[in-house]
Amino acid sequence: MASIDLNADLGETVAGVPTADDEAMFALISSASVACGGHAGDAASLRAAVDRAARFGVAIGAHPSYPDTANFGRVRLDMSADDLISTVTAQLNALVDAGAEVRYVKPHGALYHAVTADSAQAEAVVAAVSDLSERLGRALPVLGLPGRIERAARAAGLPFLREAFLDRGYRADGSLVPREEPGALLHDPAEVADRAVRLVREGVVAATDGAAVAVEAASLCVHGDSPDAVAMARAVRAALEADGIEVRAPW
């Protein structure tokens, strides 16, 4: 039976206010990328994520970012390698200290995109993940898009898994449409569900211009903070299972 991971970015509370319906989302996914204080999240949300993961049988991943709650981690910061290692390490440790069995690490927002092209930032993130891997006694996988981060992770002996986005627009070159541009976000649950099945069965996604773009992915993401997140995740899960595709964490 074919299988695929379905992940969502969760635990993203800002000033104590949740940005997503975490309770509903945890019931539909197999992996949760949990904000750990950089762009969102606090001690209470970390503990709540650990509790939900246990109740719903969901794998927990760390979702570190630039330390920038004002911009929700979506603006690139000019940080030295040492400072980036320090902030990512602190965020990873916060999730571990909340009682999580961290299974993978997925950078967030601007950092997620920066590490695909910037070797120094990619190596800094990998250094932090490597430190935690040593602390836990197991190599933590890194989840993201191909590029510098994949090369840095593999060079450090860490597994790297590629991700595809169900609710984001793709350009013909395989890059994501920037959030400020038309077509960046998808909202129709049926469209997103069809995309999920096609990604698993054919390894392609339709770009905004209609081109079929080859995409290799071990995990599919629905952003938890989208207004349509629960409806999309529910439709995706139902469509995958109806097509004989098991939703299962790979970690």
Please report whether residue 203 resides in a domain. Answer: no
How confident is the model over 100-149, as pLDDT tens digits?
Answer: 999 999 999 999 999 999 999 999 999 999 999 999 999 999 999 999 99
> What pLDDT does residue 232 have?
98
pLDDT at 1: 83
Distance, in Å, from the CA atom of 159 to the CA atom of 153, rounded to the nearest integer, reads 7
- Tell me, yes or no, whether 130 lies in a domain: yes
**What span, in angstroms and rounded, lies between the C-alpha atoms of 88 and 145?**
18
Determine the average pLDDT of the residues in 78-92.
Answer: 98
pLDDT at 124: 98
Burial class for 131, CB neighbours closer than 10 Å (0-12, 13-18, 19+): middle
Question: Does residue 161 belong to any structural domain of this protein?
Answer: yes
Task: Decide if 103 is inside a domain.
Answer: yes
Q: Which domain holds residue 121?
A: 3-167+243-247
Q: Does the residue 111 lie in any domain?
A: yes
- Model pLDDT for residues 3-47, shown as the tens digit of each residue: 999 999 999 999 999 999 999 999 999 999 999 999 999 999 999
The enclosing domain of 59 has a CATH number of: 3.20.20.370
Residue 173 in any domain: the answer is no
CA–centroid distance for 200 within its chain: 18
In a domain, 123, yes or no: yes
Give the predicted TM-score (pTM) of the model: 0.97
Number of domains in the chain: 1
In a domain, 191, yes or no: no
